[in-house]
Amino acid sequence: MRYNEKELQALSRQPAELAAELGMRGPKKGSVVKRRLVKLVVNFLFYFRTDEAEPVGALLLEHCRITQEEPSGFSISFIEDPERKYHFECCSEEQCQEWMGALRRASYEFMRRSLIFYRNEIQKMTGKVGMGHGSGRGWLVAWLTLCCPPHRTPWSSSAYRKRPGSS
Amino acid sequence: MGAMKLNERSVAHYALSNSPADHMGFLRTWGGPGTPPTPSGTGRRCWFVLKGNLLFSFESREGRAPLGLVVLEGCTVELAEAPVPEEFAFAICFDAPGVRPHLLAADGPAAQEAWVKALSRASFGYMRLVVRELESQLHDARQSLALHRHSSWKAIPSRCKPQAPDHLSRGLENGYALSRDCSSIGLAEEGGSRPAGSGLAECELQGPTNLLLGRGQSPVSPETSCFSTLHDWYGQEILKLRQGWLQRARGSQPECEEQDRP
């Protein structure tokens, strides 16, 4: 699969959600722990040799599972091969929990679920209070009224629902 | 220095998985393998799939492995001129040294417009902005509900328990728990659960409760399980917020070190 390394390198220089020096061990059998500067940027985890400016590698964090590993460490594995784990060692339980929480939230899929969750919650609230009253002063009303077009969007077409690849 | 590593197998698995795609279609591309640095010719026709901030290309709709990946962070999407005189071209441009624009062309004006819109909104940061705004709106709506529970509603039972935002965000951290909740809520319309006739309609609700929908409008349609449709619905106000956010993001310095290659 081709990708532009320079794109990812540029991304690795963006402001990070979290960054720290951690012990890291790759998934291959017999790999040893190495000190790495680990940096979470959007849904990518970059890892650098501690004295280098360009990352050694990156992990896309979609469909990943974060598991606590004793002591004060965690591992990242992916849905298609859950036993293949990237191990990380933290300096404290607190740091470990901080990283685990951040990594679990660091996927586009997580945000998509959050969006649906909040939308449903708002709907439940509006449902419970009944039909709205008032002059529509509220930001949410103007916003939703404005953005609920009666016409079909391109994304509603049946072609959009086809899945890529085949199972 | 060796090439940068990436968990390619997992990335390819994600590309082919049933996770929602935000847009897909045929596009001609000039950035494929073995192509010269300057785009020329008619390009290569590929099947493109947009998932979140990741744009995958496949040789065909039935492709079993992605040909390529473009990560859509820190980019802008602009209309462009293809090397041969043709319409419907656009480019994904990066504000980073050494990263050439990705030139793409759609089959028609509607497809071009749809792609430009979808790609412009594809960044993680933009999605985060939308989610934070919704979170804030929900918080405000709950606060106003709490206020009204304590004012004129004393005799009327309410099933809505205002929750602190902290509780809300903690509940969301574990993606697996959230999936379960969402599946019980369902992504489709919950029309039957509305307590429309429970006496609430008689209340005079003033002030902040005009946050709520008027005139029986429902924000929910079955298609809103996909972000693109959701986005279109939340549309215009968010676009304005995003523009302001992008301007601020461009103006700010990256927090981490920026070192030149030794």
Taking the CA of residue B218 and the nearest CA in chain A, the distance in Å comes to: 8
Name residue B15's amino acid: A
3 state DSSP class of A23: strand
pLDDT at residue B179 above 60?
Answer: no
- Asked if B85 and B61 touch (Cβ cutoff 8 Å), the reply is no
Taking the CA of residue A46 and the nearest CA in chain B, the distance in Å comes to: 9
**Which residues 194-233 of chain B have a CB within 8 Å of chain A?**
194-196, 198, 200-201, 203-220, 223-230, 232-233
A76 and A121 in a single domain? The answer is no
DSSP string for B164-208: -HHHHHHHHH-HHHHHHHHHHH-SS--GGG--TTSSGGGS---GG
Confidence of residue B84 (pLDDT cuts 50, 70, 90): low
Residue A134 lies in a domain: yes
Do the Cβ atoms of A166 and B94 come within 8 Å? no
A99 and A134 in a single domain? The answer is no
ipTM entry? 0.76
B7 → chain A, closest CA residue = A59
Q: Structural domain tally of chain A? A: 2
Give kind and range of the element (H or E) at residue B240: helix B227-251
In tens, the pLDDT along A106-146 reads: 999 999 999 999 999 988 887 643 333 333 334 444 444 44
pLDDT at A158: 39
Percent of chain A with pLDDT over 90: 69
pLDDT at B252: 53
A136 and A55 in a single domain? The answer is no
Angle between helices B124-149 and B227-251 (to 10 degrees): 110
Mean pLDDT, chain B, as a whole number? 70
Rounded Cα–Cα distance for residues A119 and A128 (Å): 14
Do the Cβ atoms of B213 and A80 come within 8 Å? no
Residue A158 lies in a domain: no
A100 and A23 in a single domain? The answer is yes
Cβ-Cβ contacts under 8 Å, A120 against chain B: 182, 185, 190, 220
Do the Cβ atoms of A54 and B4 come within 8 Å? yes
**Mean pLDDT lowest among B76-90, B166-180, B234-248:** B166-180
DSSP string for B67-101: SEEEE-SSEEEEE---SSS-SSEEEEEESSTT-PP
pLDDT at B52: 96
Q: In chain A, how long is the greatest CA-to-CA distance?
A: 68
Residue A162 lies in a domain: no
Do the Cβ atoms of B32 and A2 come within 8 Å? yes
Rounded Cα–Cα distance for residues B230 and B233 (Å): 5
Taking the CA of residue B40 and the nearest CA in chain A, the distance in Å comes to: 19
A99 and A118 in a single domain? The answer is no
B49 → chain A, closest CA residue = A164
Cβ-Cβ contacts under 8 Å, A10 against chain B: 74, 94, 96-97, 99
Q: Which residue has the higher pLDDT, A156 or B39?
A: B39
Domain residues for A127?
Answer: 113-150
Confidence of residue A150 (pLDDT cuts 50, 70, 90): very low
Do the Cβ atoms of A144 and B213 come within 8 Å? yes
Do the Cβ atoms of A7 and B94 come within 8 Å? yes
**Mean pLDDT lowest among A29-38, A68-77, A138-147, B78-87:** A138-147
Confidence of residue B156 (pLDDT cuts 50, 70, 90): low
pLDDT at A81: 94
Do the Cβ atoms of A137 and B210 come within 8 Å? yes
Residue A99 lies in a domain: yes
Do the Cβ atoms of A141 and B213 come within 8 Å? yes
Identify the burial level of B241 via C-beta atoms within 10 angstroms of its C-beta, where 0-12 means exposed, 13-18 middle and 19 or more buried: middle
Say which CATH number the domain at A47 has: 2.30.29.30
Mean pLDDT, chain A, as a whole number? 82
Q: Which residue has the higher pLDDT, A148 or A130?
A: A148
- Among A106, A134, A158, where does a domain finish? A106
